[in-house]
Structure 1
Amino acid sequence: MKAFNRILVTAALPYANGPVHIGHLAGCYLPSDIFVRFQRAKKADIKFVCGSDEHGVPITIRAMKEGVTPQQVVDKYHTVIKESLADMGISFDIFSRTSNQTHHETASDFFTKLYNKGLFEEKLTEQFFDEKTNTFLADRYITGTCPVCSNPNAYGDQCERCGSSLSPEQLINPRSTLSDAVPVKKQTKHWYFPLQQYEPWLKEWIIEGHKEWKNNVYGQCKSWLDSGLQSRAMTRDSNWGIKVPLPDAEGKVLYVWFDAPIGYISATKELTPDWADYWCKDDTRLVHFIGKDNIVFHCIIFPAMLKAHGGFVLPDNVPANEFLNIESEKVSTSRNWAVWVHDYIKDFPDQQDVLRYVLCANAPETKDNDFTWKEFQDRNNSELVSIFGNFVNRTFVLMHKLCNGKVPVLHADVTDEKETQLVSEFAATAAKVDQLLEQYKFRDALFEVIDLARKGNKFMQDREPWILARKLAEQPELQKQIDNCLHVCLQLTANLAILINPFLPFTAKKMLHMMKVVEKMLDWENAGKAKLLSVGYSLRAPELLFRKIDDAEITAQVEKLRAG
């Protein structure tokens, strides 16, 4: 395995024409944050970059419908998105935006470098044109019937019903989204990137060189490559976006999928003067977290662009997730069939970790998964409250009641095999969680942590220190067994705080407060240790980590969703 000296993590740039929903969170923002928090705990040299994607046709369409400028649209949603993700604890080192000057310069320079190398093909083609509005109709300016699934409202670049990637010419009965007029064909010039020239290299790099990638990612890449790649236009007819830096390109901008991934580079430039260390040194581990609809752009188009430019590292992994459906239906922003992050924060204040937990436990890592409010309630009540929270709470309550609120001594003369076995689980679980997180298996890693809490509950239930306490008057020697039980459970609690921190950072912080320890205890090197809390140390009174969610709250959320 290749040795890396630094890590650069990117999360897909959210599109600034609307707020973010829980499908976005589950798709890339939560898994990337878990991975980054884990690596930070391991003291890795790591940067976590993201930002809003602020160009492209949907933004101009929304601006026209709302009677505002595209800049007003992106300013509004950049703020909404940034605040929503911050509220959920997504801990970017920078959240930039593609309307920034640094990005415009970086994307223009990138295009110019490829142009000066003679890599673009200039083509005169006929494209659909709306005579009513005097506008070329690229991508989402045009709709029609999908030739694959007969969806009457497919876009000129993609059918959202069946997921097929389309071109406007493939649509049946095309019409303009601006005026509903039937478009005509008109000649226009664009600059095409010859993807087919990079097909042999991409096959070697992905098919032979990255067999460890997730099956869904590897399979989609193989399908694209087996079908054969074609030149792809990297410019569009529009006045909103990054101007094509050529003298004969009036009214042309860079294609949003040319400019958006370069946003990772420009965001890193804004973050640190040492940006080139993260983009140009081959001992950098570059990881792109995305949803499955962006696989082709991050695994084929952007790497080919980087290869063509030269001097940049290529992604080591692209752990894309599948889609998260809501109550058995696909998310639809037009029908308001979504759970919006800013609404969740309002409806469930201070319960970010409940959503983080449920979305990770039910993450669409290998296939589309379904979010239901009933499962949200069940996982909270039966796993967070009854297993994890219950164990921590009982441990602290009993420690205050039976050990004067201090970490008791571990008495070697009464230590038995079950105690030793449970203590050995600390390091074993830490090792498993470490391995799973390095492999981007976030669900499995989370379940290992919960299973450790479950083992703690069983150990305490078997020991019944509250029963032993009733016999102390006649058998004072039983205090040693009580001490041992609670000593082990407290050290287990400290381990749980370390292990749960990448997943549930707000909860880990509460646990630190209860244990009266500094944040440094969460360093990953401490995971698995059996003596994290000193004997005789006074701990604070317990505070409930989670609360039960009742049926009325869930009914209200389902009704709100169905109301649209």
Structure 2
Amino acid sequence: MADANAVPFGTFYVKFMQYLITSALPYINGIKHLGNLVGSMLPADVYSRFLRQEGESVLFICATDEHGTPAELAALEAGLDVTTYCQKQHERQAEIYRGFGLSFDYFGRTSSPDHHELTQHFYQRLDENGFMEEREIRQVYSHEDNRFLPDRYIVGTCPYCGYDRARGDQCENCTSVLDPTDLIEPRSAVSGSTNLEVRTTKHLFLKLTTLSDEVRSWVDNQQEWTTLTRSIALKWLNEGLQDRCITRDLSWGVPVPRPGFEGKVFYVWFDAPIGYISATKGWANQQAEADNWKSWWYDSQDIRHVQFMAKDNLPFHTIMWPAMILGTREPWTMADDIKGFNWLTYYGGKFSTSSKRGIFSDQALEIVPADYWRYALIAMSPESADSAFTWELFQIKINKDLADNLGNFVNRILKFANSRFKGVIPEGGTPGEAEQRLQESCESLITKLSNCLQNLEFRKAAETLCALWTVGNQYIDERAPWALFKQNKEEAALVIRTSINLIRLYAIASNPFIPFTAEKIFDALQLSETERTQRLTQAVDFNALVAGRSFAVPPPLFRKLEDTEIEELRQQFGGE
């Protein structure tokens, strides 16, 4: 017998729980490109919106990752102190994400006092439990730059795959973890100088070798991970974990609270994932109970934690971050699912700020509204493999899916209803076979859409949503209310009333994907707040909006992109 406090989940039952959603922290240095958006923040937002719509308790957390050499160097180049630079960049990124409709409950910063305190706590617990070790290492010093170079600021050729721009900490091409001394023909990423010297310096190491068996046991128990996430975690484990240096000779970061380590800070990849917790603490500080963050992160009950990130972040989230948590011997919340994404390329190549190749998030919003990007990017989601953004594909998604399939349906029905039925939903007619087929099709597609979102299958979800829009066009093509109006006004009234209720369904189903457009449709249909927050799984109801209710005709929801415009955009942003 099913638990009375449970809800259906496919063929199983799950108890009510709270959903903790985190998106990989965007680095503070520079505006993010579309691949960053679709590989973490955007799908996390779609999922969070869907869960909220279903009545679930959701906390959606993100933050800017602000420490490390890139921030220092960018601040220097901008003529600002690093604190001011990070403040400005955080505000700029937050503004862009608001423009895309990302519904973070809190967008924090890893430079916050809470973050420093929590990072030092994690270190102290790991140290007390014997998982930290002090060692002397040989580190690269650049004479040209007059400084030690962090791993990521030494570039060269990867010894494993031959990629010629591998960083000293990790090859982004094959995801192999590296030390700077592994690189072939290393050079400074700051000056390009090859006048490098290896010097001895003292650092702390996280003993991943000691924690390896515990991490493997945890990974083996994760049955929900995708093939991508699991394969990357197992690749690391099967190659054998190495103890990881977690401190750096830098001034900007979380200070290391250890005698003899003055002037050193924690490696950015040690402190960054703690940002999920510190940002939640920042959120709780704004609430009535400041300790509420612990109900999500510490000895928490009935929390389902889902993380979103691109594949280059997977090694750290499947291995290093779990190892840190396990090593504290404290009951911190660990991920239930880690949704990893492949890369979105630009015509098969990499997005590049320096060569102005590809479209970046601030530029995108200047070209077309946010919902165009939200839908098209989810429809291009690089889930099972890398996928390529092209302006031609973008044009198809906007013109055919949004403008023709959804926008044209809404416009045709509401304009016709307004002119023939004086701006109110008409009464009359009895539903027949066509309406029954429509209802069955919608129920089937809504169930499929809900399952896709529950299973984090975003590309398939977008395809299903588009199929739902297509059903409506097929219905009015078959029923032709404009012709029916001349022959049987009551029958035409039935088709229009059914179609307006279908528009309501479209707004509810589309809301997680294109929330700005959904809001325009809600406004046009003059829905109450309660009517706007209908659960997707209960939304198929062609009697929800009854005869006599008024509505408005909104301006066209989407504009089509012309071939000449697409060619200009391709030339402007370097697609080849």
TM-score range, shorter chain: over 0.9
Pick one of 496, 521, 524 that aligns with 2:506.
496
Pick one of 342, 351, 374 that aligns with 1:331.
351
State the partner residue of 2:74.
62
State the partner residue of 1:191.
204
Using structure 1 for the length normalisation, give the TM-score. 0.94
Q: CA-to-partner distance for each residue in 1:238-293, whole Å, 9 max, x for gaps?
A: 11111101122112100101101101100000101211111121411111111111
| RMSD value, Cα | 1.9
| Secondary structure of residue in 2 paired with 1:206 | helix
How far does residue 195 in structure 1 lie from its aligned partner after superposition?
Answer: 1.4
How far does residue 331 in structure 1 lie from its aligned partner after superposition?
Answer: 1.4
Q: CA-to-partner distance for each residue in 1:192-244, whole Å, 9 max, x for gaps?
A: 1111222222222222x223211111111111111111111111111111110
Q: How does 1:289-308 map to 2 (within 5 A)?
A: 289-308=308-327
State the partner residue of 1:24.
36
Which whole-Å CA distance do the structure 1 matches of 2:398 and 2:189 have between them? 44
Which whole-Å CA distance do the structure 2 matches of 1:162 and 1:424 have between them? 46
Identical-residue share of aligned pairs (%)? 36
State the partner residue of 1:370.
388
CA contact (8 A) 2:380 2:387 kept: yes
- Is 1:505 the equivalent of 2:525? no
| Secondary structure of residue in 1 paired with 2:314 | helix
Which whole-Å CA distance do the structure 1 matches of 2:163 and 2:402 have between them? 42
How far does residue 78 in structure 1 lie from its aligned partner after superposition?
Answer: 1.4
Pick one of 395, 399, 413 that aligns with 2:417.
399
State the partner residue of 1:219.
231
State the partner residue of 1:485.
495
Which whole-Å CA distance do the structure 1 matches of 2:365 and 2:158 have between them? 37
| Secondary structure of residue in 1 paired with 2:134 | strand
Distance 1:422 1:461, change over 3 A: same
Pick one of 429, 439, 443 that aligns with 1:423.
439
Provide structure 2 residue ranges, at least 5 long, that are not aligned to the other structure. Answer: 1-11, 285-289
Q: CA-to-partner distance for each residue in 1:480-517, whole Å, 9 max, x for gaps?
A: 21122112111111111110000000010000111011
How far does residue 352 in structure 1 lie from its aligned partner after superposition?
Answer: 1.0
Pick one of 364, 376, 380 that aligns with 1:344.
364
Q: How does 1:19-58 map to 2 (within 5 A)?
A: 19-58=31-70
- Is 1:157 the equivalent of 2:175? no
State the partner residue of 1:432.
448
Which whole-Å CA distance do the structure 1 matches of 2:150 and 2:134 have between them? 17
CA contact (8 A) 2:68 2:268 kept: yes
Q: CA-to-partner distance for each residue in 1:108-152, whole Å, 9 max, x for gaps?
A: 122122222222011112222234554222212323333234444
Provide structure 1 residue ranges, at least 5 long, that are not aligned to the other structure. Answer: 472-477
After superposing the two structures, state which structure 1 stretch, 2-11 or 36-45, moved more.
2-11
State the partner residue of 2:5.
none
State the partner residue of 1:549.
561
State the partner residue of 1:527.
539
Q: CA-to-partner distance for each residue in 1:143-196, whole Å, 9 max, x for gaps?
A: 333323444443211334554432101012323344515222221111111112
Pick one of 209, 213, 218 that aligns with 1:205.
218
- Is 1:243 the equivalent of 2:255? yes
State the partner residue of 2:527.
517
CA contact (8 A) 2:139 2:198 kept: yes
Distance 1:153 1:323, change over 3 A: closer
Distance 1:563 1:453, change over 3 A: closer
Distance 1:250 1:406, change over 3 A: same
Q: How does 1:444-455 map to 2 (within 5 A)?
A: 444-455=460-471
Tell me how many residue pairs correspond in the alignment: 553
Q: Look up the equivalent residue of 1:287 and give its one-letter code.
A: V
CA contact (8 A) 1:423 1:488 kept: no
After superposing the two structures, state which structure 1 stretch, 140-149 or 96-105, moved more.
140-149
Q: Look up the equivalent residue of 1:347 and give its one-letter code.
A: I
Pick one of 267, 275, 283 that aligns with 2:293.
275
After superposing the two structures, state which structure 1 stretch, 260-269 or 230-239, moved more.
230-239
How far does residue 67 in structure 1 lie from its aligned partner after superposition?
Answer: 4.4
After superposing the two structures, state which structure 1 stretch, 249-258 or 153-162, moved more.
153-162
After superposing the two structures, state which structure 1 stretch, 548-557 or 146-155, moved more.
146-155
CA contact (8 A) 2:309 2:339 kept: yes
State the partner residue of 1:475.
none
After superposing the two structures, state which structure 1 stretch, 41-50 or 141-150, moved more.
141-150
After superposing the two structures, state which structure 1 stretch, 303-312 or 86-95, moved more.
303-312
Q: How does 1:122-141 map to 2 (within 5 A)?
A: 122-141=134-153
After superposing the two structures, state which structure 1 stretch, 289-298 or 415-424, moved more.
415-424
How far does residue 434 in structure 1 lie from its aligned partner after superposition?
Answer: 1.4
Which whole-Å CA distance do the structure 1 matches of 2:107 and 2:447 have between them? 32
CA contact (8 A) 1:142 1:168 kept: yes
Distance 1:223 1:389, change over 3 A: same
Which whole-Å CA distance do the structure 1 matches of 2:162 and 2:521 have between them? 54
How far does residue 459 in structure 1 lie from its aligned partner after superposition?
Answer: 0.9
CA contact (8 A) 1:512 1:519 kept: no
CA contact (8 A) 1:211 1:218 kept: no
Q: Look up the equivalent residue of 1:314 and give its one-letter code.
A: M
Which whole-Å CA distance do the structure 2 matches of 1:430 and 1:145 have between them? 49
How far does residue 528 in structure 1 lie from its aligned partner after superposition?
Answer: 1.8
Distance 1:4 1:538, change over 3 A: closer
Which whole-Å CA distance do the structure 2 matches of 1:262 and 1:4 have between them? 27
Which whole-Å CA distance do the structure 2 matches of 1:177 and 1:238 have between them? 16
Using structure 2 for the length normalisation, give the TM-score. 0.92
Which whole-Å CA distance do the structure 2 matches of 1:143 and 1:433 have between them? 44
How far does residue 57 in structure 1 lie from its aligned partner after superposition?
Answer: 2.0
How far does residue 346 in structure 1 lie from its aligned partner after superposition?
Answer: 1.7
| Secondary structure of residue in 1 paired with 2:123 | helix
State the partner residue of 2:3.
none
- Is 1:314 the equivalent of 2:314? no
Distance 1:78 1:301, change over 3 A: same
CA contact (8 A) 1:20 1:84 kept: no
Which whole-Å CA distance do the structure 2 matches of 1:254 and 1:64 have between them? 21
How far does residue 465 in structure 1 lie from its aligned partner after superposition?
Answer: 1.3
Distance 1:513 1:157, change over 3 A: same
- Is 1:264 the equivalent of 2:276? yes
State the partner residue of 2:307.
288
| Secondary structure of residue in 2 paired with 1:129 | strand
Q: Look up the equivalent residue of 2:262 and give its one-letter code.
A: E
Which whole-Å CA distance do the structure 1 matches of 2:407 and 2:436 have between them? 23
